Amino acid sequence: MRVPPPVRGLRPDRARRGRPGRPVSRLTAAMTLVVLALVTAGFAGFAVWSFSVIRGFPGEKRPEISKLEPVQIVGREQTVFDWSRDACEPRDIPDAPARAFRDSSGQVNLVATHYVNRRFVGPSLNSVKHQCGVILNSGFQANPAAYDDRQWLASPYTPDGRRVYALVHDEYQGNEHPGRCATGVYLRCWYNAITFARSDDGGATFSQPPAPRRVIAAAPYRYSPDSGAWGIFQPSNIVRNDRDGYYYAMVFAQHHKSQQRGTCLIRTRALAQPASWRAWDGKNFTVRFADPYSVAQIAAADHVCTPVSFDEIGDMSHSLTYNTYLQKYMLVSPTAQEDRGRTVYGFYYSTSDDLIHWEPRKLIREVSLLSTHKCGDRNPVMYPSVLDPRSGSRNFETVGRTAWMYFTRYHYKGCELTLNRDLVRVRVRFSK
């Protein structure tokens, strides 16, 4: 799944409000975009005050005590999916943050997929096995109005284990369609939206209604060749607030005309109705996204979302959960921040009481990202998400004091990026 790269610095968007990334890591600025274009053209792209030894990712230096934060990595990494052993085809890669839910038979479904979507299934989160059956395919349609080019099943949610509703990261890649992109450059002809999919068989197969009924969140502007990478990207997983009955998710909005760059909060009470989602406007949830292909004229400024807590979280939207130990919502994403005169790239987290006001992001772990990778560096990582096998939620919306952080590791051969990507997890422990 592609998502725009964060800009360097403490306030990534202030330096420049623009650009997402994709099946690979999307996390930096100009140079990042070049790397991403090459990589994604062919395929989609914590530690605490502790007295114990901190085990990091292989090849990483242990952080200085002064830099430790109240999240500790405990134990060693586990490989959930080994591409060289488990892939059903070359494109079968973990290209989005891991999500999970329990179906009506009690089986756990884990999804961390590419635009040919597959799943893992097993009796518990700790024992899921990768399945080769395709649960949602992409239409590869050349018409952007169809919202059916390349699609990542990003955020499934089931109320009963049988019916599953999902947010889909939908990419229109104009460079892949003759006559739709004069330059032929992926990152200049990328138009993104969030669409809807549903399953009535517990996640074994998903279907989508035709456009415009499948559209959940889109920019109020039609695709324009060679105008850059823009739209609505990378939905978090869905969480339900039992107090008000709403389902919430966070999405990344790229700067384009009236739309500001940052993380937007959206909600609905009716998961089965794609048009029911509304976005935060800075004061309330009044913004209804508009499909520019189904309406003759649109007052664009009325159909753009207002990012929440931009200075604190930038464009973080990968993993959203409620931490029952901290008693706060928790957001986890890869991003960057200035620290003592240098840009620190890594997995960061932030907490919130209400999903609107977020604490300044803090470093979970400094890591090598695809956008910052240089020949000879350790293999980069991307797409962090936090899941707790003991979660009382059917959709793993909650985590306790300990949980697993899942992420994707890329592999290089020589200095060339390959399709070889593994889904890895490591245990984390939170502290107050």
Rounded average pLDDT over 115-119:
98
- Tell me the residue type at 391: S
Q: Which domain does 192 fall in, by range?
A: 12-338+353-360+378-430
pLDDT in tens, 394-410: 999 999 999 999 999 99
Q: Model confidence at 47, in pLDDT bands (50, 70, 90)?
A: very low
In a domain, 370, yes or no: no
pLDDT at residue 181, rounded to an integer: 98
Q: Model confidence at 295, in pLDDT bands (50, 70, 90)?
A: confident
In a domain, 208, yes or no: yes
pLDDT in tens, 254-277: 999 999 999 999 999 999 999 999
In a domain, 2, yes or no: no
Q: Model confidence at 1, in pLDDT bands (50, 70, 90)?
A: low
In this predicted structure, the answer to whether residue 98 has a pLDDT above a threshold of 70 is yes
pTM listed for this prediction: 0.86
In a domain, 344, yes or no: no
Give the per-residue SS3 of 278-344: EEECCCCEEECCCCCCCCCCCCHHHHCCCCCCHHHHCCCCCEEEEECCCCEEEEEEEEEEEECCEEE
pLDDT at residue 411, rounded to an integer: 96
Q: What DSSP character marks residue 415?
A: T
In a domain, 266, yes or no: yes
What the block records as the tokens of 84 is 């060289």
Alpha-carbon gap, residue 291 to 80, rounded angstroms:
38
CATH code, domain with 289: 2.115.10
Rounded average pLDDT over 284-305:
94
Q: Model confidence at 414, in pLDDT bands (50, 70, 90)?
A: confident
Strands (E), 103-237: 108-111, 120-122, 129-130, 150-157, 164-173, 189-199, 215-217, 228-233
Higher-scoring residue by pLDDT: 232, 57: 232
Candidates 61, 112, 374, 14; CA nearest to 120 is 112
Q: Model confidence at 69, in pLDDT bands (50, 70, 90)?
A: low
In a domain, 86, yes or no: yes
Domain count across the chain? 1
Q: Model confidence at 60, in pLDDT bands (50, 70, 90)?
A: very low
Q: For the ranges 39-43, 323-327, 373-377, which has the lowest average pLDDT?
A: 39-43
